[in-house]
Structure 1
Amino acid sequence: MAMSDVENARGRPLAIWTIGFRPFFLMAGIWSAAALAGWIAMLTTGLTLPSRFDPLTWHIHEMLFGFVLAAIAGFLLTAIPNWTGRAPISGRPLAALAALWLTGRLACLMSASIPLWLAAATDLAFPFVLCAVVAREIIAGRNWRNMPMPVPIAVLGLADLLMYLELAGFSVPAGLGWRLGLAAIIVLISVVGGRIIPVFTRNWLVKQGAANLPAAHGRVDNVALGALHAGMIGWALFPALSPVGGLLLLAAALNLWRLVRWRGIATSAEPLLTVLHVGYLWVIVGAALLGASMLTAHVPEAAAIHALTAGAIGTMVLGVMTRVSLGHTGRALAADRTTALIYLLVILAAVARVAAAASGSLPMLIEISAALWIASFGLFALRYGPMLLAPRV
């Protein structure tokens, strides 16, 4: 990447390279829509990619370790300067991180044309370098409260490695890699969501003059998180162990109690807040369905997986990306009609995908869900791309 692509004539970074959310949110939005479009094309036409992964595994891999990991990188590289008081990663180091992510996508896509070890090493470089960068910034800022934050990134790197080891024929339990990756993402959403959702809600309700505010973090939250984390990790390691199913049902009930205490019902006038509560509700629905699927054959596991992925991850990622993009580009923290439509489309996509799985994976519902998802993330890229590329207003 040439210096002119990163810096202006005065030697300062171009707007997109000034802070992490700008390139990574834009890449996450574009890749989410493009990768799903590619998966649907393979599903409906028989198209194949020059990847060593089969089409379904490639779809799973790219949504977890491509799209979601880019969104996580954008969030953490933007939040850490606020936590530590240090200057954000910017300029050529940020551009190098973005190039590393993009190279990983190309390596996975073209892995049939290069040695497997090279494809794996190229793809795995990003999560482990990101983990090292996040850890270094937190340690340098002596921000010990957030020291656990690099752990989910490291687990995602390990999960990605397990997918490649399984592909190479090593003795890895089937699906352990993607299950562990999904569990790490849900753990991160539950922790970060528990920090930002009640705080953002409290701030907005205070401005509205409301007296009934979200409850402070307490024992309820700790128990709810402990049950959810243990249940998700237990499922990743032992997907057929019925006591884990019971633990996930308990975790769903505890986290529903937690969510009710955040007063989400009072935020209906501001979609920018409501969408975060809906996203966390999808975590609860997904955990409940996953627990039920481990206890009875009447609940398909695929419905639970898509409640957690299309529902919780899709909704929370868009909720966070839109809010951060607005706030950090100097715009008002309020959702316009286009942003509200982005939220509606992703929620409908999740509902359609869970319904498709619950009814036996009806092709029409899968295609409708995919179209809604692509429209949602495509609209995000179109609406928010210009503000991510332009200087702060």
Structure 2
Amino acid sequence: MSALKRLFSEGFRVFFLAAGLFAVLGMTIWSGWLGWQFAGGGGALPLGPAPQLWHAHEMIFGYGAAALGGFFLTAVPNWTGARAAPHLFITGVALIWLAGRIAMAAAGVLPPLLVAVLDLAFVPVLAAKILTQLLHRPKPQQMVFLLTLTLFWAADLACHLEWLGLAETGWAGLRAGLAVLAAMIIILGGRVTPGFTRNAMVQSGRESRLPWNPPALALLAGGAAVAVSVALLAGLPDWVAGGLAVLAGVVGLIRLAFWRGGWTAGKPILWALHLGYGLTALGLALTGLAWAGVGSELAGLHLLGIGGAGGMTLAIMSRATLGHTGRALVAPRPVVVAYGLIPLAAALRVLGAVLPDLHDVTVLLAGGIWVLAFGLYLLALWPVFLAPRLARGGAA
């Protein structure tokens, strides 16, 4: 099999590579434009939406959608025993994702309706394939992801309705889209983080003081997190969404305390999951407080987006890529550095949000560190995306 065909043979290969490339390209464009503006340059990016809206949209519905696509196309067949998507489907849906990114970049010259159609096409196609696989062995705890994908698509639709001049729902759509990503992390991360940690502990010979993951707390955190996006899309008062976000975040942090994160200190492939989950929960709590009138919304959203969604997706993508290609579950050194850079980028961006005098420098530093982190991810794993599966290795 050629390297190109292999790239499209499994969902994680093309989409986790695409996510990394887009993380670098999208942030480079945004940071470059900001730097030019801060230096006194004029002009705007040739985009349909305002530059800051394009940046937020593409990080959520461009990068985020690629990460979701790679995860679901890889994980769902493992969950259900269904046949994995063939390479022609993976190629087609990857091209649909790419068409959406091109359309958003060219939104300044394309008809808004065409941009909306191209950008909104990816999630329904992905969800339809996932549905056929989930029906092979349906379980309620897995079928819920069709709901989250529907909410994710609805959030994107809300953005385009404003750009089409049909509603004033753009900001609600961006907030809801990020909230859906956070909800998926609370639900999925809340399963795999303690599960992978428990497996590693047992393999090391430990039989006591294993991670504890009470189902009641999982249901409360996940339900509240999903309800955040519903409240935002329904146009409910900010304090309603804020209260739900605080509840999801606080319960998420309580859950995290039971997962024996300290044991993972020397195992980056594990502590990155704990860190990403923790920053997601903390980001939800801080954002919820801001919606209720306490603190900075900009700080909370960027902690949630960079540290939470960025950190957790980086951890999951790198682990799954190693495991599903038969490699040992040991993060390469550049990826370990990337794990540490993402929370640093988040901290700098939060600092810039709460200290306006430091805004310009911290925003540019955060963007540069994000680009460096994903550049290291690509450097370490690019050959793995194209290489054959090894006969032995750790399971993802």
TM (norm. structure 1) is: 0.92
Paired with 1:47 and 1:344, the residues of 2 have a C-alpha distance of 35
Contact 2:148 2:226 in 1 (8 A): no
Counterpart pick for 2:199 among 193, 203, 207: 203
Which residue is equivalent to 2:96?
100
Counterpart pick for 1:86 among 66, 82, 88: 82
Paired with 1:38 and 1:390, the residues of 2 have a C-alpha distance of 30
Q: What is the Cα deviation at residue 144 of structure 1?
A: 5.3
Gap regions ≥5 residues in structure 2: 37-41, 391-396
1:117 counterpart = 2:108: no
C-alpha distance 261-377 of structure 1, shift in aligned 2 (>3 A)? same
Which residue is equivalent to 2:13?
22
Paired with 2:142 and 2:254, the residues of 1 have a C-alpha distance of 25
Secondary structure, counterpart of 2:48 in structure 1: coil
Q: Which amino acid aligns with 1:309?
A: G
Gap regions ≥5 residues in structure 1: 1-6
Q: What is the Cα deviation at residue 262 of structure 1?
A: 1.2
Paired with 2:150 and 2:196, the residues of 1 have a C-alpha distance of 28
Q: What is the Cα deviation at residue 364 of structure 1?
A: 0.2
1:188 counterpart = 2:179: no
Paired with 2:240 and 2:150, the residues of 1 have a C-alpha distance of 27
Paired with 2:127 and 2:116, the residues of 1 have a C-alpha distance of 17
Which residue is equivalent to 1:285?
282
Paired with 2:6 and 2:335, the residues of 1 have a C-alpha distance of 22
Which residue is equivalent to 2:377?
380
Which residue is equivalent to 1:242?
239
More divergent stretch after superposition (86-95 vs 314-323)? 86-95
Secondary structure, counterpart of 2:121 in structure 1: helix
Paired with 1:242 and 1:145, the residues of 2 have a C-alpha distance of 28
Which residue is equivalent to 2:393?
none
Q: What is the Cα deviation at residue 344 of structure 1?
A: 0.9
1:39 counterpart = 2:30: yes
Paired with 1:280 and 1:195, the residues of 2 have a C-alpha distance of 11
- Superposition pairs for residues 221-232 of structure 1, below 5 Å? 221-231=218-228
Q: What is the Cα deviation at residue 22 of structure 1?
A: 0.1
Secondary structure, counterpart of 1:362 in structure 2: helix
TM (norm. structure 2) is: 0.91
Paired with 1:251 and 1:192, the residues of 2 have a C-alpha distance of 14
Counting aligned pairs with the same residue, the percent is 36
- Superposition pairs for residues 152-171 of structure 1, below 5 Å? 152-171=148-167
Q: Which amino acid aligns with 1:38?
A: I
Q: What is the Cα deviation at residue 250 of structure 1?
A: 3.4
C-alpha distance 244-113 of structure 1, shift in aligned 2 (>3 A)? closer
Counterpart pick for 1:320 among 316, 320, 328: 316
Deviations 1:345-380 (A, max 9, x none): 112111111111121261000000000000011111
Q: What is the Cα deviation at residue 19 of structure 1?
A: 0.8
Paired with 2:365 and 2:202, the residues of 1 have a C-alpha distance of 40
Paired with 1:290 and 1:363, the residues of 2 have a C-alpha distance of 22
C-alpha distance 296-164 of structure 1, shift in aligned 2 (>3 A)? closer
Which residue is equivalent to 1:50?
46
1:147 counterpart = 2:143: yes
Paired with 1:301 and 1:233, the residues of 2 have a C-alpha distance of 19
1:345 counterpart = 2:344: no
C-alpha distance 143-13 of structure 1, shift in aligned 2 (>3 A)? farther
> C-alpha root-mean-square deviation of aligned residues, in Å?
2.0
1:132 counterpart = 2:128: yes
- Superposition pairs for residues 293-304 of structure 1, below 5 Å? 293-297=290-294, 299-304=295-300
Paired with 2:134 and 2:201, the residues of 1 have a C-alpha distance of 31
Which residue is equivalent to 2:330?
334
Which residue is equivalent to 1:62?
58
1:258 counterpart = 2:236: no
1:307 counterpart = 2:303: yes
C-alpha distance 382-246 of structure 1, shift in aligned 2 (>3 A)? same
Contact 1:342 1:377 in 2 (8 A): yes
Secondary structure, counterpart of 1:391 in structure 2: coil
Deviations 1:307-358 (A, max 9, x none): 1100100100000001001101111011232221010111211111111112
Paired with 2:31 and 2:55, the residues of 1 have a C-alpha distance of 9
Count of residue pairs the alignment pairs up: 383
Contact 2:151 2:230 in 1 (8 A): no
Q: What is the Cα deviation at residue 175 of structure 1?
A: 0.7
Contact 2:81 2:136 in 1 (8 A): no
Paired with 2:334 and 2:4, the residues of 1 have a C-alpha distance of 30
Paired with 1:250 and 1:142, the residues of 2 have a C-alpha distance of 29
Q: What is the Cα deviation at residue 128 of structure 1?
A: 1.3
Q: Which amino acid aligns with 2:347?
A: V
